[in-house]
Amino acid sequence: MSSGQEKITVENVNVPGYTTRVDKAMYDAMKQAMWEVLPATSPGLTQNEIREAVVPHLPEDLFPGGAKAGWWAKTVQLDQEAKGNLVREATKPLRWHRVA
């Protein structure tokens, strides 16, 4: 990431009040990919299933060979969950789905 790139502020559902700034293009690409693969109803997907499912939907120029997809998927998941757009299901392993 170069310092000239546009940033977006993200939240973390596990640390209320904590925000950080990340690359907006990477965030937006991952969010779009996640919305393409995440169901709007239970049973949702596990973190591993999300990480694997998003890779084919990511732009190769931003995520060459799926590089860093796991970190970005977790970042977007925590932020979207904090914003109330994702539901964390009370399952083991944890599963998530979009708010319908």
Domain ranges in the chain are 7-98
Which residues of the chain are modeled with pLDDT < 70? Answer: 1-4
| 40: CB partners within 8 A, 6+ apart | 97, 98, 99, 100
Tokens 């393409």 belong to 36
What pLDDT was estimated at residue 20? Answer: 97
What pLDDT was estimated at residue 4? Answer: 62
Name the class of domain 7-98.
mainly alpha
What pLDDT was estimated at residue 100? Answer: 84
What pLDDT was estimated at residue 1? Answer: 44
pTM (global) more than 0.85: yes
- 53, burial (CB in 10 Å: exposed 0-12, middle 13-18, buried 19+): middle
What pLDDT was estimated at residue 2? Answer: 46
What pLDDT was estimated at residue 90? Answer: 93
